[in-house]
Amino acid sequence: MNLAQILSVLSALAATVWSVLTWSTEQQTGRQLKRDQEAALYVNPFLLAINELQAQLYSILEEDELLCYKKEYPNQYKFGSPAAIETLYRLSQYFGWAHHNFRYGPYTKDPRVIELIRKIGETFESRNHFPGDAFRFSIDERSSLGDAVVRRVGEVTAVLPVFESIPLFQFEEEIKDKQNRHAPLYQSKSVRWSLTAIDSADRAEVLEGHERLAVLQNLLVDLLAYLENKEGFRVSIGGLVKASLRGVYAGFTAQSNIARIVHQTRGRIRLVIPRLKTDKPFAKLLQSLVESIDNVRSTRISIGAASVIITFRTDIPEAEFASRVVKTIEEEFYTASVRECVKLSD
């Protein structure tokens, strides 16, 4: 083979490699553009809906929001006060965006998202675990309420369908309109009981459905923290805080039987670790372990409360740091268990 032929072969080979690399880059760019479009259409509004709902539920359950409602809307309302209708609107917004993300968004196969949405759905639907019928919605009711608030816009033939939430004032008008096509839904027992529960209570302790809403708020915080971490930005302001869970309900949202996050604010996280109560030497190991994690500033362990309070750098994403801490503790727990088993076998 002469020099000209060799150069020709090398040139053809280089052209082939370049074509493959260019095609691969174009494919990757196309996938990223599609992912960005899906995020803009479905994930971003879903994040906002989750945040608005969890924040409102927290203010109802842990603050004096119900008393404020009573002062702001002292009159009896035939259908529901503006405050009660707003709560139903936030719930319906979540239903709508959760459904569309489940069908079209980039998390349709994400195990964590699927698991959390499943738990949230079961909590809304369960009759056995939660007393009362307020805020108990079947899957059909959740789908219908979601469709009533989050509606398709634009061309029906679009490759990726576009949806928008109707504004709250429009929802208030439609929910009171007996001629509205959703009137049978708005007159259903589930909707009526939920609106009445908000308007009948002046404090969280007497709110029908309190336990159900507390579990839901906790699960929504977990879902929001996970999605914010995956997307790399936050829509929540300040730290994500969970409503208190009492009695048997404390186990409904536990992230782990080993280490469970019970409170989280910017630069500070508190975990409950049951083993601390039964294994005092584990406390020293835990403190050394946590202090070895990057970006930790201080650690305070309470054996009596079986908890550890960790402060960390405020420029670190909270959800990412929390996930890292729990994973580190779990891995050490399992490693220690293996070591104990080996000693026993020897």
Whether the pLDDT of residue 253 is over 80: the answer is no
The pLDDT assigned to 345 comes to 43
Domain 254-345 fold? Alpha-Beta Plaits (3.30.70)
Name the residue among 116, 141, 125, 130 with its Cα closest to residue 210. Answer: 130
pLDDT at 23 over 70: no
- Of 42-56, 289-303, 324-338, the range with the highest mean pLDDT is 42-56
- Asked whether residue 290 carries a pLDDT value surpassing 80, the answer given is yes
Q: How is the chain split into domains, by residue range?
A: 36-231, 254-345
Q: Which is more confident, 252 or 169?
A: 169
pLDDT tens, 177-228? Answer: 989 999 999 999 999 999 999 999 999 999 999 999 999 999 999 999 989 9
- Confidence category of residue 336, pLDDT binned at 50, 70, 90: low
Per-residue model confidence (pLDDT) at position 342? 42
CB burial of residue 321 (10 Å; 0-12, 13-18, 19+)? buried
Average pLDDT over residues 74-87: 90
C-alpha torsion 219→222→225→229, nearest 10: -130
Render pLDDT for 132-168 as a digit per residue (tens, 0 to 9).
899 999 999 999 999 999 999 976 556 788 999 999 9
Please, what sign has the CA dihedral across residues 61, 67, 70, 73? negative
**Above pLDDT 90, what percent of the chain?**
44
